[in-house]
Amino acid sequence: MEKQKSIFASVDWLTIAIYIFLLALGWMSICGACYEYGQPTDFLSLASFDTRTGMQLVWICSSVILGLIVMLLDDRLFDTFAYLIYGLLIVLLFITPFLAHDIKGSMSWIKIGSFSFQSAEFAKFATALALAKFMSSYGFKLEGSWKNMAVCIALMLLPMVLIVLQKETGSALVYFSLFLMLYREGMPGSILFTGIAAVAYVVIGLRFADEMVFDGTTSLGLLLVMVMIVVFVVGLIFAYARPSALQAAAVGEARNASQTYRRAMLETIALGLGTMFVFWLIARYLRPFNIGPVYVAVCALIILRLTWIAFTSRIYRYGLIALFAAGSVVVFYSSNYILDHLQDHQRARVQELLGLREDPNGVGYNVIQAKIAIGSGGLEGKGFLKGTQTKLRYVPEQETDFIFCTMGEEQGFIGSAAVLLLFLALLLRLIYLSERQPYAFGRVYGYCVFSIFLFHVLINIGMVLGLMPVIGIPLPFFSYGGSSLWGFTLLLFIFLRIDAGRVRYQR
């Protein structure tokens, strides 16, 4: 039997290079965020253990060692022990609230000696392993099997619920990102689309509910959601009704399929976007009026018209699209209704979760500060440790959740865009590596890693840029703290190890 080639020949060095780059930039950001004027700036004093910069360096070095150890393990271990690892982490998550002491309302920190760690950070790779194991079992198929789908969702939901019990709602939301992986593995796209649309309605609807346009007559939230619904309906007609119309035309039968398609498309665009344009003209130039209710009526008209088309043409995809639109309106209104009828503290909780009120002392304060910090960076930034903006000190969590501010201020557009591109490179590389896996186990795990990283980058940087609700989750490899760094390193390196093992099967 031929001896296996060295692991270092088959490992993906490009990903490791990106990882090292991100770690280095991350440490630079931590230095900027924790630096205090008058402190010496040489490497030795920055690396001194009694400072946060020094501690972060310890975490970074130990992460690299952790990555190395993972590389030296046998890749089949992960497959074999996937459920065991998942089980252990679930137990750990379960007991955490009992062992943890309350740090500002969060029950997620376990203390061992003088070190504290967050068990939630390690549950991500364990869940990914369990999902990969389950979905790579013999004869597994996601499409058309509701049972398989339910088990997958249960595997995701279990750690989520336990993390919510630790009052770390932000970290729990991360698991929703795994639906991207499920989509890749065969979950109908319409489910993913419907889910994303529902979240968008609720967040955008509530966030802009109190912002009035047209001389204070119309709620921007309502208007945006209604326009979104119309645009989605147009998109759905294009995506689902057109193929069948083309197919029918190709076979040469039922000319009315393509006719129906054209009619539905035109009517929806004319009704939905045309009337909007007319209303806008009237409100803007003639007399401001509350467009909201009128436009809801237009949406209702579109729904009725599509239902009618579905009945007469017997192409019931139009009915499903009408159902989607009706459901959208219902989701939007019921979210408003529920929020209005919640008790005060529950409402505050939901609003906090949606980032509608991240700070009871001053709404928007953190985001204003973050934007000023980033905005003041300009093209080239102010230079390493030269962020003159002492104001960053007023942003809580600036070395954890708002760490990207430091990058924006000190390294400017060039530096922060480079970080974004590095993350993009990592994400695309993860897709590439996942697709080259010979077995479903590696592919599923790879897409889990991709989904989790994408979600963290999307939410964390989006929040700092004022585009996303303020949900406290760390930026991978940047945010201060050992738990998240170790967690992300494990997540990534287990995948690299699995990937490095693929050669065995490719001979």
**β-strand partners of 103:** 106
SS3 string, 341-360, reads HCCHHHHHHHHHHCCCCCCC
Within residues 421-440, the interface with another protein by CB under 8 A covers 421, 423-424, 427-428, 431, 434-435, 440
For residues 267 and 233, the answer to whether their CB atoms sit within 8 Å is: no
Within residues 6-45, the interface with another protein by CB under 8 A covers 36-38
The answer to whether 161 contacts another protein (rule: CB under 8 A) is no
Q: Which is nearer to another protein, 4 or 388 (CB)?
A: 388
Given candidates 52, 207, 347, 391, which one binds another protein under the rule CB under 8 A? Answer: 391
For residues 447 and 180, the answer to whether their CB atoms sit within 8 Å is: yes
Residue listed under structure tokens 């992300």:
488
Given candidates 254, 294, 372, 385, which one binds another protein under the rule CB under 8 A? Answer: 372
Q: Which is nearer to another protein, 235 or 375 (CB)?
A: 375
Q: Which is nearer to another protein, 249 or 465 (CB)?
A: 465
Rounded to the nearest whole angstrom, what is the least distance from the CB of residue 22 to another protein in the complex?
14
| 134-to-123, 154, 439, 444 alpha-carbon distances in Å | 16, 12, 13, 10
Q: Classify 113 as helix, strand or coil.
A: coil
Given candidates 28, 454, 471, 490, which one binds another protein under the rule CB under 8 A? Answer: 454
Rounded to the nearest whole angstrom, what is the least distance from the CB of residue 410 to another protein in the complex?
12
Given candidates 246, 394, 504, 505, which one binds another protein under the rule CB under 8 A? Answer: 394
Q: Which is nearer to another protein, 364 or 383 (CB)?
A: 364
Amino acid at 76: R
Amino acid at 490: L
Residue listed under structure tokens 């007559």:
217
Q: Which is nearer to another protein, 228 or 368 (CB)?
A: 368
Given candidates 136, 218, 369, 484, which one binds another protein under the rule CB under 8 A? Answer: 369
SS3 content of the chain, % helix, strand, coil (to 5): 70, 5, 25
Rounded to the nearest whole angstrom, what is the least distance from the CB of residue 63 to another protein in the complex?
24
Given candidates 6, 343, 390, 506, which one binds another protein under the rule CB under 8 A? Answer: 390
For residues 252 and 243, the answer to whether their CB atoms sit within 8 Å is: no
**β-strand partners of 218:** 213
Rounded to the nearest whole angstrom, what is the least distance from the CB of residue 403 to another protein in the complex?
15
Give the separation between CA 461 and CA 459, rounded to whole angstroms: 6
Q: Which is nearer to another protein, 37 or 49 (CB)?
A: 37
Nearest to 131 by CA among 160, 97, 110, 168: 160
Give the separation between CA 221 and CA 292, rounded to whole angstroms: 9
Rounded to the nearest whole angstrom, what is the least distance from the CB of residue 361 to another protein in the complex?
5
| 195-to-190, 198, 453 alpha-carbon distances in Å | 8, 5, 19
Contact characters 171-210, another protein, x per CB under 8 A: ---------x--xxxx--x---------------------
Q: Which is nearer to another protein, 297 or 467 (CB)?
A: 467
For residues 382 and 409, the answer to whether their CB atoms sit within 8 Å is: yes
Give the separation between CA 59 and CA 63, rounded to whole angstroms: 6
Amino acid at 315: I
Given candidates 368, 385, 502, 503, which one binds another protein under the rule CB under 8 A? Answer: 368
For residues 82 and 129, the answer to whether their CB atoms sit within 8 Å is: yes
Given candidates 114, 343, 361, 506, which one binds another protein under the rule CB under 8 A? Answer: 361
Given candidates 195, 243, 364, 383, which one binds another protein under the rule CB under 8 A? Answer: 364
Within residues 100-159, the interface with another protein by CB under 8 A covers 102, 104-105
Contact residues for another protein (CB under 8 A)? Answer: 36-38, 102, 104-105, 180, 183-186, 189, 361-365, 368-369, 371-379, 388-391, 393-394, 408-409, 412-413, 416-417, 420-421, 423-424, 427-428, 431, 434-435, 440, 443, 447, 450, 454, 457-458, 461-462, 465, 467
